[in-house]
Amino acid sequence: MTTSKQMTLKLKVWRQKNAKDQGRFVDYTVEGVNQAASFLEMLDVLNEQLIRKGEEPVAFDHDCREGICGSCAMMINGCAHGDMPRTTACQLHLRHFNDGDTIVIEPWRARAFPIIKDLVVDRSAFDRIISAGGYVSTNVGNAPEANSIPVPQQDAEAAMDAAACIGCGACVAQCKNASAMLFVSAKVSQMAHLPQGQPERARRARNMVAQMDKEKFGACSNTGACEAACPKGIKLTNIALLNRELARAQVKS
């Protein structure tokens, strides 16, 4: 049974006015937040306090607050979305912290994700990678009757496992190399598992990887930090698959 316990938290939050600003950590104390509140609601409380004092609130990205839109993005004590597995920052609740804890909150850090303000970063590199080939090139009106192309159930399930990616960027943030391999591989893998994805299979892998490199993400060191950080449980097997897909694309060409 939830009990309403009030807690006090000490925060060290990265504040950066804009892309050009140097940025720095600022210490805050948030008092009297309910333990049942979510992490982002705790930041709401902080912001309300700051505004009342005439200070600027901490900018952070968020929207659905139920773990599916992929907007929220912050390192909480060095862990993307906090240290709970398979959880986004908006699903993280204060009951997992102790009264009096000090929490360090930092933005995603990667050259490919420049900081816009405070904890808000620009993740448009992900959009450009998808533009490069993360789709089936079918025009509206082209589609055949849906049941004319059966998809074996295990393939549909494997595709769905990979398709669950929410594009939040936690994989990049947690990776010591700021590599986007898990993100890219999830989309490549989804399509590689489906008959609809076959005609563009080689082209897709090649173009998406080329764009990934162009965006200056790091390379994959196979450490598995991305999988651990992924709030949707996207598996490392996708990266192995992407490595295979690129080889396959090369051999086929």
Partner 1 sequence: MAMASWKAYLGSSIGKKKLVGLTGLALSLFTLTHMAGNLLMFVSADAYNLYSHTLVSNPAIYLAEAGLVAFFLIHVILTVQLTMDNRAARPAGYQHAAHGVKKTSFAAKTAILSGSLLLAFVVLHLQTFKFGTVYTTTVDGVEMRDIYTLVVEKFREPGYVAWYLLSLVLLGMHLSHGFKASFQSLGLFASNHPTLAKLGWAFAIIVAGGFITQPLAVYFFGLGG
Partner 2 sequence: MSTHPRLDSKIPSGDVEKKWSNRKFENKLVNPANRRKHTVIIVGAGLAGGSASASLGEAGYRVKLFVYHDSPRRAHSIAAQGGINAAKNYQNDGDSIYRLFYDTIKGGDFRAREANVYRLAEVSVNIIDQCAAQGVPFAREYSGYLSNRSFGGSQLQRTFYARGQTGQQLLLGAYGSLMRQVEEKNVELFAFHEMLDVIVVDGKARGIVVRNLRTGEITTHTADVVILGTGGYGNVFYLSTNAKKSNCTAAWRAYKKGAFFGNPCFTQIHPTCVPVSGDYQSKLTLMSESLRNDGRVWVPKAKGDKRSPKDIPESERDYYLERIYPAFGNLVPRDVASRAAKAMCDKGQGVGETGLAVYLDFGDAVKRIGKDGVAKKYGNLFEMYEKITGDDPYEVPMRIYPAVHYTMGGLWVDYNLQSTIPGLFVIGEANFSDHGANRLGASALMQGLADGYFVVPYSIANYLGGEKLPPVSTDHDACKAALADVKGRVQKFLSIKGKQTADSFHRRLGKIMWDECGMARNRAGLTKAIADIQKLREEFWSDLFVPGTGEELNQELEKAGRVADFLELGELMCRDALEREESCGGHFREEYQTPEGEALRNDEKFTHVAAWEYQGDGKTPARHQEELKFDYIHLAQRSYK
Nearest-angstrom CA–CA distance, 29 and 7: 11
Task: Scan residues 54-83 and list those touching partner 1 (CB under 8 A).
Answer: 75, 77-80, 83
**147 touches partner 2 by CB under 8 A:** yes
Closest by alpha carbon to 189, among 232, 153, 239? 239
Which C-beta is closer to partner 1: that of 194 or that of 212? 212
- Cα torsion 117, 63, 35, 103 to 10°: value is -20
- The residues in 141-160 that bind partner 1, with binding defined as CB under 8 A, are none
Q: Which does 135 bind (CB under 5 to 8 A by kind): partner 2, partner 1, none?
A: partner 2
Q: Which of residues 184-223 bind partner 1 (CB under 8 A)?
A: 209-210, 212-213, 216-223
Q: What is the arrangement of strands in the sheet containing 24-34, beginning at the earlier edge strand?
A: 24-34, 6-15, 102-106, 75-76, 79-80
Q: Which of residues 230-249 bind partner 1 (CB under 8 A)?
A: 235-237, 239-247
Where are the alpha helices (H) located in 105-253, listed in sequence order? 124-131, 153-163, 170-174, 181-192, 201-214, 225-229, 237-252
**For 49-59, b where at least 16 C-beta lie within 10 A, e where not — what string?**
beeeeeeeebe
d(CA 185, CA 199): 18
Query: Shortest approach of partner 1 to residue 88 CB, angstroms?
Result: 13
Please count the residues of this chain forming the interface with partner 2, following the rule CB under 8 A: 81
| Window 39-78: contact mask with partner 2 (x via CB under 8 A) | -xxx-xx--x-xxx-xxxx-x-xxxxxx-xxxx-------
Task: Decide whether 61 or 227 has the Cβ nearer to partner 2.
Answer: 61
Q: Would you tell me which residues interact with partner 1 (CB under 8 A)?
A: 12, 14, 25, 75, 77-80, 83, 85, 104, 106, 109-112, 174, 176-179, 181, 209-210, 212-213, 216-225, 227-229, 235-237, 239-247, 250, 253
